[in-house]
């Protein structure tokens, strides 16, 4: 994965905590909206990943990085 998007981007954007924080709630929202019977594990992953990454990116840039004082990280 790191080779696809580049090490420099990964060093500047630490999305790990945001992914950990938002993945479960996003998945639960999809299950609530679409119903358990409509979703397989793969479809839930495909639906949840972009939303989770977007929320994690926003969390990193607007909450985590400013709070940690990591301005140019």
pLDDT in tens, 7-43: 565 566 688 899 999 999 999 999 999 988 889 999 9
Chain segment 45-61, per-residue pLDDT in tens: 999 999 999 999 999 88
Alpha helix (H) residue ranges in the chain = 2-5, 7-12, 16-34, 41-59, 65-68
CA distance 13 to 7: 10
Q: Helix, strand, or coil here: 44? A: helix
Higher pLDDT: 73 or 33? It is 33
pLDDT at residue 32, as a whole number: 94
CA distance 6 to 21: 23
pLDDT at residue 3, as a whole number: 54
Residue 25 to residues 21, 22, 30, 66, Cα–Cα distance (Å): 8, 6, 9, 24
């Amino acid at each position: 994965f790191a080779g696809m998007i580049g090490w420099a981007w990964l060093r500047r954007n630490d999305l790990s905590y945001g992914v950990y924080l938002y993945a479960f709630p996003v998945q639960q929202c999809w299950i609530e909206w679409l119903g358990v019977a409509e979703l397989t594990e793969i479809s839930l992953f495909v639906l949840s990943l972009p939303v989770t990454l977007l929320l994690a990116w926003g969390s990193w840039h607007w909450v985590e990085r400013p709070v940690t004082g990591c301005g140019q990280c």
